Amino acid sequence: MDFKNRDIISINDFSKEELLHILKVVRQLEQKPKSSLLNGKILAALFFEPSTRTRLSFTSAMEQLSGKVIGFSNANTTSIQKGESLWDTIKMAEQYSDAIVIRHPLEGSARLAAEAASIPVINGGDGSNQHPTQTMLDLYTIQKTKGKLDGLHIGFVGDLKYGRTVHSLVIALAHFNPTFYFIAPDDLQIPESYLDELFQKRVKYHKTSDLGRFSRELDVLYVTRIQKERFPDPLEYEKFKGIYRVDEAFLQGVKKELKIMHPLPRIDEIDKSVDSTSHAAYFGQAANGIPVRKALLALVLGKIK
Amino acid sequence: MTRKKPKKSKARERIKAKKAVPSAPKEGAKRELNISAIDEGTVIDHIPTDAAFKVVEILDLENHKGVVSIATNLQSKSIGRKGIVKVGGKSLTQNEVNKIAIVAPDATVNIIKNYDVREKIKVKTPDVIDNVVKCSNPVCITNNEQVATKFYVVKKDPLKIKCHYCERSMGKDDIEII
């Protein structure tokens, strides 16, 4: 399987076999780090909107493999301010680098960037559309903590309507014969279009607004933040904030091996007391961002097959 | 040079058109045909009545120099109420025929020569729609930068399309022609 020059734009572009191959490379790189793998390679990190974790982990991944990073973390300091189009910015950046990672507030921007560039482009988040490297690190975390991906009972709780991490992960996990539990108030439930897709793929799922209802069934619980910025009306946000709380009381009724994940940052949806339990997988999940991004960079730059 | 019009054919096309006209109030004098026959051109029939003007838009007929006749709310056995668009002096390309399918999946395109229907083409919904439809997502890159739109047809009936860029799906009602 050759990923050289491949763009990483949407989780929908990857087959089950390709996802498993990527996860295999991540594991190999974790076991046998190759610190000079990307020596002489330059990554252009074009961050048109703020990001902490994604930008830092791409930078760290590149530098751990002896590559270099150029770019910007604020579009206000660039020619965009002078009215330069995204297309032209990408055409310029590809002259200076071997690969591009882009984060942009407009949906579809990463796909357009990939069409403009002849070098590989990695989507670091395009609005509320896709964030495929997050999905891959989520998959890797599940595989690593549960020892498998197949046949798991996976719950999603919180804002399932707007949360892109949930949408992409649901599509990726659908390859692995899961049973899903969507836990959210009606107004924040997963969109029907995803349920249609699951129905077509014969994936079993349950919908509920009660966090406790299926707690004994779960192998993994993926918790998301209720995103304040998504609510046009602050009163609406007040209605939903703090509605779900994963705490010690909740943990009384779960499987011993349940793993709790969260894309972070969290507000109050996971109590700090959970951090020290064997259920907490969210900090390890954040740490997995580095090996996953290292593997992806090495794959698209043709240094690993 | 004067062209001899074949009477039979002309009559045939008129009859077809007459059948299509509902002549809403039945009582009273015979109704005259309100959409005339054309000698050369294209008749697009079996358009859902609310999509007739969209067909005009898709084919950019506002700028067409020949005769354009549009009729809506005609009775149709197959689709209830229908629209017809007749375009004098224009043959459609396959691409134009495919575009019509986006708003009128059951339409038939009749090529008229000498008042006679020379060819009947059933429209076929394309798998990919290039630069015809506007994305309904305001934060899609195609609505913010000069980019030709591209959609994949996910489902043909009822039509559901997915933006190549922002990956949002759109139903028939959300479709806006560029």
A268-298, pLDDT tens digit by residue? 999 999 999 999 999 999 999 999 999 999 9
Residue A151 pLDDT exceeds 70: yes
Residue B15 pLDDT exceeds 70: no
Is there a contact between B166 and A108 if contact means CB atoms under 8 Å apart? yes
Q: How confident is the model at residue B34 (pLDDT cuts 50, 70, 90)?
A: low
| Test the B interface: residue of A107, A112, A131 with most B CBs within 10 Å | A107
Q: Tell which wins on pLDDT, A52 or A92.
A: A92
Q: How confident is the model at residue A51 (pLDDT cuts 50, 70, 90)?
A: confident
Q: Spell out the domains of chain B, with CATH numbers in brackets.
A: 7-19+34-122 (3.30.70.140), 128-177 (2.30.30.20)
pLDDT for res B5: 45
pLDDT above 70 as % of chain B: 80
Other beta carbons within 10 Å of A139: 25
Contact A110, A130 (CB under 8 A): yes
pLDDT above 90 as % of chain B: 48
pLDDT for res A82: 72
Angle, nearest 10°, between helix axes A289-300 and A53-64? 60
Residues B155-166 have pLDDT tens digits of 888 889 999 999
Instruction: Give me the mean pLDDT over the A237-252 stretch.
Output: 92
Q: How confident is the model at residue B35 (pLDDT cuts 50, 70, 90)?
A: low
Tokens of A212: 């406790």
Q: Spell out the domains of chain A, with CATH numbers in brackets.
A: 11-130+287-300 (3.40.50.1370), 133-283 (3.40.50.1370)
Is there a contact between A108 and B146 if contact means CB atoms under 8 Å apart? no
Is there a contact between B164 and A111 if contact means CB atoms under 8 Å apart? yes
Name the phi and psi angles at A172, rounded to 5: -65, -45
pLDDT for res B1: 46
Residues A84-101 have pLDDT tens digits of 899 999 999 999 999 999
pLDDT for res A284: 96
Q: What is the DSSP string of chain B?
A: -PPPP-HHHHHHHHHHHHHH---SS-SSSPPPPSS---SEEEEEEEEEGGGHHHHHHHTTGGG--S-EEEEEEEEETTTEEEEEEEEET----HHHHHHHHHH-TT-EEEEEETTEEEEEEE----SEEESSEE-S-TTBGGGTSS---EEEEEETTTTEEEETTT--EEEGGG-EE-
Give the list of residues 6+ apart from residue A35 with CB closer than 8 angstroms, or none.
Answer: A64, A65, A66
Interface of A with B in 74-93 (CB under 8 A): 85-87
Distance from CA of A111 to the nearest CA of B (A): 6
Most confident listed range (A89-98, B8-17, B92-101): A89-98
Residues A108-118 have pLDDT tens digits of 999 999 999 99
Using CB atoms, which residue from A12, A106, A129 is nearest to B144?
A106
First-to-last C-alpha distance (Å) of chain A: 6
Mean pLDDT across chain A, nearest whole number? 94
pLDDT for res A87: 96
Using CB atoms, which residue from B137, B141, B169 is nearest to A112?
B141
ipTM of this predicted structure: 0.91
Contact A20, A143 (CB under 8 A): no
Q: How confident is the model at residue A134 (pLDDT cuts 50, 70, 90)?
A: very high
Instruction: Give me the mean pLDDT over the B27-49 stretch.
Output: 74
Pick from B108, B155, B164, B106: nearest CA to B133:
B164
Is there a contact between B141 and A106 if contact means CB atoms under 8 Å apart? yes
